[in-house]
Chain A
Amino acid sequence: MEHLIRLELKKFGVGRNIMFTVAAILFSILFITVSLVDSMTDPEQTKDTFESTFLIIGLLVSSIFLVYSSVLTARFVIGEYDRRTIILLFSYPLNRKGLIAGKMMIIMVYTAVSVMMGYICCTGFMIIADNYFDMLEGTFKISLLQTWIPAAVTAAIVCTILSVWPFIIGMIRKSVSATIVSSMIVVVFRQIIISKNAANRESLLQILLAAVITFAIAAVIFKKKVPQLF
């Protein structure tokens, strides 16, 4: 498996995807800055709190990287079927399911790392900006990390699990567009679920349930759909 992952990483284009991560984080910072400056300067609005800004960061970062993970799945996995290069890949002396699993592992690790980096960079920027420009209501206290850390870790884990869904749908349809559209549905569905939770994040039970269902269906897809060329 290590050999397969190393091979696939060459095609993945690590540098290009790091560039995207940096650009997405910068966009998120810009978005949050505009939103905070607006609430600071508009006398009719009250300043945002640290808690509400954490939520915006969470929503933004998870949505961006979840959708981007589906783009990667579409290009890196489903695209092989779509462009028929899968015929070439499956002619090699390699474990075919292992090859696709290797690709998915790269995407899942990339998603987890990007979501974590997004959280850390956006939150770090927000704390520094507040320190200099007093952009938020109140001051930053270490105790706030007690809600921030579980939220960030939960988001990274959940996004990693949910990044498998575009693969599942994409494999069923062997369609690039279905892969990307499914990620948007997943983002909306996740928001509906977590908005009903008091902590605004998934409970441990929900995470476990999502993981079991997702990986069980993915296992069936690996068995039935991965070896099929179309």
Chain B
Amino acid sequence: MDYIMETVGLRKSYRGNAVVDNVNIHIPRGAVYGFVGPNGAGKSTVMKMVLNLIQPDAGEVHLFGEKVTDHSYEVFKRVGSIIENPYFYEKMTARQNLELHCEYMGFPNRERIDEVLQMVGLQEVRGKQVRHFSLGMKQRLAIARAVLAYPEFLMLDEPINALDPEGIREMRKLFQRLNRENGTTVFISSHILSEVDLLADTIGILRHGKLLAELPVEEIHKHQTEYISLQVDDVPRAAVLLEKKGITNFTAEDQEFIRVYDSDLPGKTLSKYLVENGVGLESLGRRQDTLEDYFFQLTEEGD
């Protein structure tokens, strides 16, 4: 397969603690790769190693089929990125920051600046100094900068942090459009699993510096089971009643919720049966496992 970015046995330790441990990532050209994991899992460290901002203790990074070394500069012309936080020259205006970016990237098309500012909804404040921007505005500007020079590979470290729900939706649409229309490969890290689920077609799950899984989202969805979610006032009693009725494929999630995996059961019958036997039923609904469920299932196995 044609991988736009690949890591081979990537390792990094700080003071004897492995923060990235034998990570092998494979990002196919044209993919939207969601890199998920809790805060501190090592996502940013991996991304920094991809850009050679920090050197791995062991392992290799291949970008566009080329091994990244201390002398790899030209390859970064094809990469747009946001790493850690949106950093800017705060006394410069939004437009000046983007002009400077064009200079450094050797990108001559200045008309593109207005285009990307429009894309992220910052056209009106292009002449404002960045130091007066909110964190959400800076995040939008960082996205504008990352996509400005038509990158083939877009690497975004938690790009939706600090964005409001509308902003998150707009940016998701933007990334999807860039991927669909320009063929841009997107490597996006986030700890917001629901958002990655909506955007990515391939998922890599990182925890404690280890890549627990890497698979297409379709694969996850294929294994996601449907279930009936019951919210009751007495879980032990409800469990006994379900067993009496011959329903054994269920789990008690916490002190309120029960998941019944026999989703063919008519909800009406189930609710009537529980209520008639003295269990208060707050809610009943049909659900499907999410990426979040898959993530927790995997990480619990890891523990």
**Which chain A positions have C-beta within 8 A of B75?**
93
* Contact across chains for A87 and B83 when beta carbons are under 8 A apart: yes
B282 interface residue (CB < 8 Å to A): no
Contact B83 A91 (CB under 8 A): yes
Considering the chains assembled together, what is the distance between the CA atoms of A84 and B87 in angstroms?
Answer: 7
A196 interface contact, C-beta 8 A: no
Question: Once bound together, how far apart are the Cα atoms of A11 and B105, in whole Å?
Answer: 15
Is the Cβ of A93 less than 8 Å from the Cβ of B105?
Answer: yes
CA distance A229 to B54 in the complex (A): 7
Please indicate the chain B residues that have their CB under 8 angstroms from the CB of A229 in the complex. 48, 53-54
Interchain CB contact (< 8 A) of A11 among B55, B79, B89: B89
A85 at the B interface (CB under 8 A): yes
Is B230 an interface position by the 8 A CB rule? no
Which residues of chain A are near B83, meaning CB under 8 Å? Answer: 87, 91
The size of the chain A interface, using a CB distance under 8 A, is: 18
Contact bitstring A177-211, B, C-beta under 8 A = 1, else 0 = 00000000000000000000000000000000000
Whether B100 is near chain A, meaning CB under 8 Å from some CB there, is yes
Report the count of interface residues on B (CB-CB < 8 A): 26
Interface residue A212 (Cβ < 8 Å from any Cβ of B): no
- Given A90-B51, A93-B74, decide whether A85 and B105 contact each other with a Cβ distance below 8 A: no
Please indicate the chain A residues that have their CB under 8 angstroms from the CB of B51 in the complex.
Answer: 90-91
Chain B positions near chain A (C-beta within 8 angstroms): 48, 51-55, 70, 73-77, 79, 81, 83-85, 87-90, 100, 103-106
Decide yes or no: A92 and B104 within 8 Å by CB, A84-B87, A85-B88 being known contacts.
yes
Contacting residues, chain A, for B100 (C-beta < 8 A): 10-11
Contact check, A91 vs B88: say whether CB atoms are below 8 A apart: no
- Complex CA distance for A94 and B79, rounded to whole angstroms: 13
Instruction: Give the complex CA separation of A151 and B103 in angstroms.
Output: 41
A150 at the interface (CB under 8 A from B): no
11 more A-B residue pairs beyond the given contacts A91-B76, A93-B106, with a C-beta to C-beta distance below 8 A: A10-B100, A11-B89, A83-B87, A84-B84, A84-B87, A87-B53, A90-B52, A92-B76, A94-B104, A227-B55, A229-B48
Known: A11-B89, A84-B84, A85-B88. A91 touches B103 (CB 8 A): no
Q: Looking at the complex, which one of A89, A93, A95, A96 makes contact with B77 (CB distance below 8 Å)?
A: A93
A92 & B89 in contact (Cβ 8 Å cutoff) = no
Complex interface: chain A residues within 8 A of B53 (CB): 87, 90-91, 229
A26 at the interface (CB under 8 A from B): no
Is there contact, CB below 8 Å, between A87 and B87?
yes
With a CB–CB cut-off of 8 A, which chain B residues contact A88?
87-88
Please tell me if the beta carbons of A85 and B73 are within 8 angstroms of each other in the complex: no
When distances are taken between beta carbons in the complex, the residues of chain A under 8 Å from B48 are 87, 229
Residue among A11, A87, A227, A229 having the largest count of chain B Cβ atoms under 10 Å: A87
Q: B105: which A residues are within 8 A, CB to CB?
A: 92-93
For residue A7, CB closer than 8 A to chain B, the reply is: yes
Most chain-B CB neighbours within 10 Å: which of A87, A90, A93, A96? A93
Q: Which of B48, B70, B75, B104 is packed against the most chain A CB atoms within 10 Å?
A: B104
Q: A223 CB to closest chain B CB, in angstroms?
A: 10
Q: How far is the CB of A42 from chain B (nearest CB, A)?
A: 47
Look across to chain A and name the residue whose beta carbon is closest to the beta carbon of B81: A91
Q: Across chains A and B, which 6 residue pairs bring their CB atoms closest together, nearest first?
A: A92-B104, A93-B77, A93-B76, A93-B73, A85-B87, A84-B87
Can you pick out 26 interface pairs between chain A and chain B where the beta carbons lie within 8 Å of each other? A10-B100, A10-B103, A84-B85, A85-B87, A85-B88, A85-B89, A87-B48, A87-B87, A88-B87, A88-B88, A89-B104, A90-B51, A90-B52, A91-B51, A91-B76, A91-B79, A92-B73, A92-B76, A92-B105, A93-B73, A93-B74, A93-B105, A93-B106, A227-B55, A229-B48, A229-B53
Could you tell me the distance in whole angstroms from the C-beta of B68 to the nearest C-beta in chain A?
12
Cα A47 to Cα B85 with chains together (Å): 61
A95 lies within 8 A of B104 (CB):
no
Please indicate the chain A residues that have their CB under 8 angstroms from the CB of B76 in the complex: 91-93
How many Å from the CB of B91 to the closest CB on chain A?
10
Q: Mark A1-35, 1 if CB is under 8 A from B, else 0.
A: 00000010011000000000000000000000000
